[in-house]
Every structure is written in structure tokens, then in C-alpha cells.
Amino acid sequence: MSDALRPDLAIIARHVAQGARVLDVGCGDGALLSALRGMKGVDARGLELDADNVAAAVERGLSVVQGDADTDLGYYPDTSFDYAILSQTLQTTRRPDRVVEELLRIGARAFVSFPNFAHWRGRLALLFGGRMPVTRLLPERWYDTPNIHHLTIDDFRALVRDRGWTIEAQWFLKGDHETGGANANLMAEHAVFLLRA
């Protein structure tokens, strides 16, 4: 099942502990939760904005609630999960900083994955094309993108530093493959962080 997972989800799936309690915020159709349930026997819960995705996830037998990361996380009690996961959703939230704060309140640890806006291809497109980059990972145009808070790996590290959170682990992706941390802000298309408060 993990073979079919998106690369960032596969990384997360590999590093979640057996039998953990997991909340996937922005869980889509439940692909990751379903894999985690199958591979790791986790107690899987999800939050998802889109009704069709929720229906698909519930159809898979997952406990998924239709709701909004910006407004609905406050109802979960402190440390009610071992991991809170936010994959490819951070850049779509109204207040990414508060969402991560909530993840670290609800979960003992948080996985956060996002596309890196400072990847060299995007930089070149902006530098020479003078237009907002449209890439494989960021395929939408500026006016119809759900990504309202573009960020770079260095931006995220700065936020983590400012808030005094701890990075326990980090992974970087180029295409579908993992890449080294050196120069990640320029070379990586995608980042996955494991944080704790």
C-alpha cells in the first residue's frame, strides 16, 4: 500500500510508530491514514475540508470529520494524539503559524510537509520570466491557487526557531526521491519536518 503513497506521505508513514494515535489534518481521501492503519495498526483520525474526500475516506472505514484546520483544531484536547500530521496543507491555511501551534498542542509530535517555494526552478521562473512560477508541485496559477501562504524551507526553519519548537527530523525531496539536506532551500522541491513543542 505504501508503494502507492505520495513520496512525502511515504516518509511520514515510515516514521510513525506502531499502534500510535494519529490525526491527519487535511487528510484528503484518507490515503495516508489507510496505509498507516494497514502497516502500523494506528488509531487513525482525520480532518478534511472537502465533502467528497470525507465521503471517500469514510467509505474506506476511516474516522474522518469534515472541518477546517484554521477553525476546528481548537476542539481537540491537549496531547490527545501521538502525531498530528499536516501534509501539503500548511500553505493553504489562513494562519499557518497558529495551525502548527495547534498541531503541537494536540499531538506530542507533528509532521509538517510542504512544497518549497525557493526551489531553483521557481526562482529562475520568477527571475527571468517575471511571473509567479507554475511548476509540477505548484501547478495552479496565482489567481486560482489554494496556496495562499507560499513559504520556503528557510522560512519554515525561521518560524520554528522564533517559536522555540524543536526539529526532531527533516527530509527533503527532489522529484519523487529523497535528497540531502545540503542547500535544501535551493535544491529541494518538498520538505517534511518532524517537530515537537
Partner 1 sequence: MVETAEHHDPRYGIRRHVALPGPLRLDGGALLSPVEIAYETYGTLAPDGRNAILICHALTGDQYVASTHPLTGKAGWWTRLIGPGLPIDPARHFVVCANVLGSCMGSHGPASVDPATGQPFGMRFPVITIADMVRAQGLLLDHLGVERLCAVVGGSMGGMQALSWPTIFPDRVESAIVIASTSRHSAQNIAFHEVGRQAIMADPKWRLGHYYMDGDAPTDGLAVARMAAHITYLSEAGLTEKFGRRLQARDAKTFGFDADFQVESYLRHQGLSFVERFDANSYLYITRAMDYYDIAEDHGGSLAAAFAETRARFCLVSFDTDWLYPTAESRLIVHALNAAGREVSFVELKSPFGHDAFLLDAPDMNRVIDGFLRAGQR
User: Does 108 interact with partner 1 (rule: CB under 8 A)?
Assistant: no
User: Does 72 interact with partner 1 (rule: CB under 8 A)?
Assistant: yes
Q: Which region, judged by CB under 8 A, interacts with partner 1, from 8-16, 60-68, 122-130, 134-142?
A: 60-68
Closest CA to 51 of 69, 63, 66, 71: 66
Residues 6+ apart with CB under 8 A from 189: 115, 116, 119, 121, 135, 136, 137, 173, 174, 175
User: Does 78 interact with partner 1 (rule: CB under 8 A)?
Assistant: no
Binding-site size, partner 1 (CB under 8 A): 20
Q: Which region, judged by CB under 8 A, interacts with partner 1, from 11-19, 58-66, 153-161, 174-182?
A: 58-66
> 132 exposed, middle or buried (CB, 10 Å; 0-12, 13-18, 19+)?
middle
Least distance from partner 1 to the Cβ atom of residue 96, Å: 21
Closest CA to 37 of 65, 8, 57, 66: 57
User: Does 76 interact with partner 1 (rule: CB under 8 A)?
Assistant: yes
Residues that bind partner 1 (CB under 8 A): 45, 51, 54-55, 57-67, 72, 75-77, 80
